[in-house]
Structure 1
Amino acid sequence: MFRSDAAAGGRGEEAARVQQESADGTLQNHRLKSSAVCLHDAKMNMIYSVLFTFHLLLQYSRCVIALASVATVLLAAMALYNLMTPRASSSHPPPSSSLPLPQAESCTDPCKIVLVESIPEGLEFNSSTTHPSIFQAWLNLMSEARSSIDIASFYWTLTNADTGTHEPTAEQGETILRTLAERSGKLSVRIAVNTPQGSQPQDDLRLLNDSGADIRTVNMRKLTSGVLHTKFWVVDKKHIYIGSANMDWRSLTQVKELGAVVYNCSCLAADLGKIFEAYWYLGDSQSIPSPWPTSFNTPYNKDTPLHLPLNNTPSNVYLSSSPPSFCAAGRTPDLQSILSVMDDAQSFIYIAVMNYLPTMEFSHPKRYWADIDTQLRRVSYEKRVKVRLLISCWASTQPVMFPFLKSLASVYDTKSKLDIQVRLFVVPSSPKQKEIPFARVNHNKYMVTDKIAYIGTSNWSGDYFVSTAGSALVVNQTASQSVEPTVQSQLQAVFERDWNSDYSTPLTHCVLSHFCTHLV
């Protein structure tokens, strides 16, 4: 098309040259003619000039029209290409909003992070590694609260009456419930909880509701076929707790738990608050929005973490969430967070979780799900990273878990420098303690590497990342700039304390038959 325009322009120039030569010859002859003839020829020459000018304008307008047509066609083609061409894939689902995400920024709050634990009654360690109790952390958060307490939870059984027991150790849970009820009459208390199933106790929630708390149940069975399994607090939009402990008296005195409290950190609390608001929204909705409203978006994720000082140490932090359908634009899904932490490890990966199954644990028909298992084998082989898994063995452990653990533990060879090891953690029970239902177990859900600390709320099987609501705190602190021990080093010390304790045992048949007699 541009060549045709150029040819047309060339023909115009040639016509102009011929016209000009003709005009020059005519003027030369006119000098020999009369003045009348000269006048006539002058008029004719003017007509020729007008015609020549019109000819040039006609050629120019054709060129302009052609160029405009070309530009219009090109713009239309580009728009059609953008509509019909799929975007490049990424390691996690694309943002659920077409609006641009805000850029990650730094936080100047004097944030303080504290690891907290529940150590079951009678469990003693020959170690100096200790941390404040989750019970005390929850009391502190309620004491600090001035305007609001938001709690995302699986279920509520904080009293002996809830569990049909008469345990003195339930007193801590009853104290938490009583204190929270008192606070509910003085400030805003909101609770997002999984819709109770069957005969699940609801007395705690009724008490809190009667005391002034606002409660919404999230019907996860209808939304995703899963449950709301997450466990976190947001207080005054500046303090948070996240970890493995349920709102259950046993989680304070009869079950081993681990979590983290972050104080005076409004930027991080605001981001966790967005996850809570998503649950709150779903508690009043019959479906999951797609895309999520932009108010749920976050700039903080595994690629652009929040930069903030934790215990006066420069830190990169973000919060992940599951299932993916609950992740608004910018939020890293929990599974992608776990795989990313493993991929970043250079030296070691330590994992402490209650359940580890490369399956969809609750699906029918049965489904194999090897995302995490494959990643562990890959980093062990490709990077020669040392991998340690500390898995729980208790009355509710599924026997099918052990063949998979043995398979993973077989990736060990000193000559090849393959080093995956698995041990079981068994919480001992007295005859009386055995009578407590669903207790005496290591319920931790964390991972630590030489670079990153991951503190979550999910067990490690496929359902927890595909259909179940969970969340995690991911922290990377710069050791060289740290005055105090990093979160990574503190969590590593907890793992090594448990790994080397008398409650940790190798994954062998004879040991299983001794400690887990109900399984073999």
Structure 2
Amino acid sequence: MRRDKVLLYVIVLLLPCLSLPHVAKSSIQCKAWLVQSIPTDMPKLPRISGVLSTGDVFQWLANKSTTSLDIIAQYWQLLATPKDPHSGDFGYSDSDLQRFGAHLGSLVYNSIDNVANRNVNIRILSHSGVYPEYTKEPSDLAFGRSNVKNVTLLLSKWWGSGIVHAKVWIFDDRDVYIGSANNDWKSLTQVKEVGIYLSGCSRIARKVKTYFDNLWRLASLDSSTQTRNVSDQQWLINRTVPCWSHFLPRKARCMSPLPSYIETPNVSPSYPSLSDHEVFSVDIKTFPRDHYCPEPQPIYLSFAPPELLFGKHQSDEQGWIDTIKSVVEGGTMRINTMDWLGQSQYTNPKVYWPSFSSAVSEGVFSKNAKVKILVAYWGHFIKATDGYLRSLLYSNVLCSSASVQNKCSGQVEIIYYIVPGFNKTGHAVRNGTKTGNKYPDYTRVNHGKYAVSDVRAHIGTSNLVWDYFFTTSGVSFGTYNTKIVLKLQEIFDVDWYSPYVVSVQEFGQDV
């Protein structure tokens, strides 16, 4: 029996080598580390060896820059502002901020400030439309410096809703961070984040920079002359899209003004799914070095919204769904997200969005897979989430009822991840009176967005809600690299089996 288990383990390790898509080899080698932020006051959450700290990585990316640094961020608040009544930090003392780890944000900000003083070319792209203080820091960094460019972009002018939500750092066109962490000190020490840091990976960096360039170009264009109202036949809603969108009939489309946009064949009435999307082979060095799969293992990138695609890269929705469907027969699919909705969140009327739920149910039925879904429960929890998750659990009932005919043995398991103190966040003082809150606002949440099957890892920047894939900027990195797959599984499993979770089936109002 023990020998059989050892053999099974070896087979699982070799699966990525046996089931890789065919790609051309490349001599490029790069190094990769998974990256996390762990909130303070979680003593029962074990740390994972080989996983780096987000704050450390951000400092390295800034300090090491010699020629360029490009940053995409939703908003900035690396410097704590406890005296600003509009800030979630308001009312907390210096000792509170020290205990929270706010100084780490200052270190990151100072690193960027120092590299700006070294005359490195810096481009900062952020969301526009939130409280002005959230764009103050990049404005201050750019003030009086010709080498620092700061741009804000309001995607709702192009898609009717949506924000710059990607979190990306590109340094010297060869190092990249892609993950869930905002440029906020709280994302370094009070929010649970997951990302990947790729060093010396110029081929990957150049492709991510192309996406950055497309967003940068979009910020300088006049949306009023280059958007159209369309009756979207895929999602059954009238909405605004760029005039080069595939959601418009071919004859009604304009030529894309984006420098790196490449037209792809249309699959009416929606955006094309690419069966032959770009997958490129890069020898990613991980630590400790894996020796059991000597060939470079394929990676891919996916982007959102689909109108910002270039070359033959997948839309971000397709990248996620293909990862879910990559689960092997009888295997396990792990999905981690802050938000999960089977609909849109910000459109009116709402869009019904069954894409992810269908992919999960297909894995349960067709591959007898176990699908584990970890969803955040926190101070700004979306109430509609619980209903959608409970409906997804009905797949287990259907699977059981079909077991005689189809021998269905798959299962969906869903749990809420609850960071201690989630219900004690907000201003420390309101109207001159102490509130009793213990942590700043918009903290104490599991904010990571990733999926990992038996053979494939996918690390993104988007919540699993329709808007994030069709009106909001997002980037994902995916790979079949065995070490990354196993390490991401380890991150998930540590959370899954921690004391900070509650089963959806058992969830009640007393949490």
Q: Return the match for 1:324 from 306, 320, 328.
A: 306
Rounded to whole Å, the distance in 2 between the matches of 1:273 and 1:417 is 44
Q: Report the alpha carbon displacement of residue 317 of structure 1 after superposing the two structures with TM.
A: 0.9
**Superposition deviation, residue 178 in structure 1:** 1.8
Query: Does the C-alpha gap of structure 1 residues 467 and 356 become closer, same or farther in structure 2, counting only changes over 3 Å?
Result: same
| C-alpha distance 119-301 of structure 1, shift in aligned 2 (>3 A) | farther
Q: Distance in 2 between matches of 1:181 and 1:450?
A: 42
Q: SS of the counterpart of 1:440?
A: coil
Paired with 1:493 and 1:334, the residues of 2 have a C-alpha distance of 24
Please give the per-residue CA displacement for 1:239-276, whole angstroms capped at 9, x wherever unaligned.
00000000111100100000000000111111111011
Contact 2:218/2:258 (<8 A) preserved: no
Contact kept, 8 Å, 1:380 with 1:420, in 2: the verdict is yes
Residue pairs, 1:112-261, within 5 angstroms: 112-125=31-44, 127=46, 129-130=48-49, 131-161=51-81, 163-165=88-90, 166=92, 167-168=97-98, 169-186=101-118, 187-199=120-132, 201-210=134-143, 212=145, 213-224=148-159, 225-261=161-197
Q: Which residue of 1 aligns with 2:282?
A: 308
Contact 2:62 2:115 in 1 (8 A): yes
Q: Distance in 1 between matches of 2:365 and 2:48?
A: 32
Tell me the alpha carbon deviations over residues 172-195 of structure 1, each in whole angstroms, 9 at most, x when there is no partner.
Answer: 112211221121122011011111
The residue type equivalent to 1:452 in the other structure is R
1:173 is paired with a residue whose SS is helix
Contact 1:301 1:318 in 2 (8 A): no
Q: Quick one: which amino acid aligns to residue 171 of structure 1?
A: H
Candidates 432, 456, 459, aligned match of 2:460: 456
Q: 1:200 to 1:406 in 2, by over 3 A?
A: farther
Relative distance call for 1:126 and 1:231 in structure 2 (3 A) is closer
Give, in angstroms, the shift of residue 309 of structure 1. Answer: 0.4
Assess, with a 3 A threshold, how the Cα gap between structure 1 residues 298 and 231 changes in structure 2: closer, same or farther: farther
Q: Which residue of 1 aligns with 2:235?
A: none
The offset of 1:470, in angstroms, is: 0.5
Considering fraction of residues, name the structure with more helix. Answer: 1
Distance change in 2, residues 1:472/1:232 (3 Å) = same
Would you say how many aligned residue pairs link Structure 1 and Structure 2? 405
Compare 350-359 and 399-408 and name the one that shifted more: 399-408
Measured in 2, the distance between the counterparts of 1:433 and 1:417 equals 46
- 1:343-388 deviations in Å (ceiling 9; x for gaps): 2221221000000000011111223211111111122111212101
Relative distance call for 1:231 and 1:321 in structure 2 (3 A) is: same
Q: 2:349 aligns with which of 365, 385, 394?
A: 365
TM-score, with normalisation over the residues of structure 2? Answer: 0.75
Q: Alpha-carbon deviation of 1:291?
A: 3.3
Matched, 1:471 2:475: yes
- Is the counterpart of residue 444 in structure 1 residue 444 in structure 2? no
Residue in 2 aligned with 1:271? 207
The whole-number CA distance in structure 2 between the counterparts of 1:193 and 1:282 is 12
1:455–1:373 distance in 2 versus 1, CA, 3 Å: same
Task: Give the one of 255, 260, 272 matched to 1:295.
Answer: 260
Residues in 1 aligned to 2:144 and 2:89: alpha-carbon distance in whole angstroms: 24
Matched, 1:410 2:394: yes
User: What CA deviation, in whole Å up to 9, does each residue of 1:87-132 have, x standing for no partner?
Assistant: xxxxxxxxxxxxxxxx975432330000010000111345462421
- 1:502 partnered with 2:499: yes
The alignment's C-alpha RMSD in Å is 2.3
Measure, in 2, the Cα distance between the counterparts of 1:104 and 1:331: 14
1:342 aligns with 2:315: no
CA gap of 1:490–1:301, structure 2 versus 1, over 3 A, is farther
Instruction: Give the AA of the match of 1:184.
Output: A
Q: Partners in 1 of 2:382 and 2:376 — Cα distance?
A: 11
Cα distance in 1 for partners of 2:64, 2:358 equals 44
Cα distance in 2 between the residues matched to 1:448 and 1:234: 24
Q: Is the 8 A contact 2:74 2:164 kept in 1?
A: yes
Give yes or no for contact 1:182–1:211 (8 Å, CA) kept in 2.
no
Partner in structure 2 of residue 9 of structure 1: none
What's the offset of the Cα at 1:196? 3.1
Q: Larger Cα Rg: Structure 1 or Structure 2?
A: 1
Question: What's the secondary structure of 1:497's corresponding residue?
Answer: helix
Task: Give the percent of matched residue pairs that are identical in Structure 1 and Structure 2.
Answer: 26
1:338 Cα shift? 1.1
Partner Cα distance (2:140, 2:276) in 1: 40
Gaps of 5+ in 1: 1-102, 480-485, 516-520
Paired letter, 2:40: E
Task: Find the partner of 1:395 among 372, 379, 394.
Answer: 379
Distance 1:397 1:433 in 2: 17
Cα separation, 2, equivalents of 1:183 and 1:123: 34
